[in-house]
Amino acid sequence: MASVSRQFARSAIRASTRRAFIAAPRQTAQQGRRFYSSEAPKKGSSSLLYLTGAAAVLGGGYFFYNQGAAEPKERTQADYQAVYNEIANRLEEKDDYDDGSYGPVLLRLAWHASGTYDKETGTGGSNGATMRFNPESGHGANAGLKTARDFLEPVKAKFPWISYSDLWILGGVCAVQEMQGPIIPFRPGRTDGQAAACTPDGRLPDASQGPKHLRDIFYRMGFNDQEIVALAGAHALGRCHTSRSGFDGPWTFSPTVMTNDFYTLLLDEKWQQRKWNGPMQYENKSSKSLMMLPTDLSLIQDKSFRKHVEAYAKDNELFFKDFSSVCLKLFELGVPFTSSSSERMVLKPTSA
Q: Positive or negative CA dihedral for 52, 56, 57, 61?
A: positive
Residues carrying CATH 1.10.420.10, the chain: 211-325
- Report in angstroms the alpha-carbon separations of 181 from 126, 146, 324: 21, 24, 9
Question: Where would I find the H helices in the chain?
Answer: 3-15, 46-67, 77-93, 103-114, 146-158, 164-178, 211-221, 225-232, 261-268, 294-301, 303-314, 316-332
pLDDT of amino acid 243: 93
Cβ pair 346, 185 in contact under 8 A: yes
d(Cα 7, Cα 247) in Å, to the nearest integer?
30
Q: pLDDT tens digits for 100-119?
A: 999 999 999 999 999 999 99
CB atoms within 10 A of CB 53: 10
pTM over 0.75: yes
pLDDT higher at 203 or 59: 203
d(Cα 314, Cα 309) in Å, to the nearest integer?
9
Q: Is the pLDDT of residue 121 over 50?
A: yes
pLDDT of amino acid 71: 61
Q: pLDDT tens digits for 266-308?
A: 999 999 999 999 999 999 999 999 999 999 999 999 999 999 9
pLDDT of amino acid 73: 83
pLDDT higher at 205 or 70: 205
Q: pLDDT tens digits for 236-269?
A: 999 999 999 999 999 999 999 999 999 999 999 9
Cβ pair 190, 169 in contact under 8 A: yes
pLDDT of amino acid 265: 99
d(Cα 2, Cα 38) in Å, to the nearest integer?
41
Task: Name the residues annotated as catalytic.
Answer: 112, 251
pLDDT of amino acid 6: 54
11 — pLDDT class (breaks 50, 70, 90): low
- Mean pLDDT along residues 151-159: 99
pLDDT of amino acid 61: 46
Q: Positive or negative CA dihedral for 264, 267, 270, 274?
A: positive
- Mean pLDDT along residues 97-102: 97
Residues carrying CATH 1.10.520.10, the chain: 75-203+329-343
Q: Is the pLDDT of residue 333 over 90?
A: yes
pLDDT of amino acid 274: 98
Q: What is the fold of 211-325?
A: Peroxidase; domain 2 (1.10.420)
Q: Is the pLDDT of residue 44 over 80?
A: no
What is the average pLDDT value for the chain, to the nearest integer?
Answer: 87
14 — pLDDT class (breaks 50, 70, 90): low
Question: Minimum mean pLDDT among 17-21, 34-38, 240-244, 308-312: which range?
Answer: 34-38
Structural Rg of the chain based on CA atoms: 23
Q: pLDDT tens digits for 54-93?
A: 444 444 444 444 444 456 789 999 999 999 999 999 999 9
Domain 75-203+329-343 class in CATH: mainly alpha
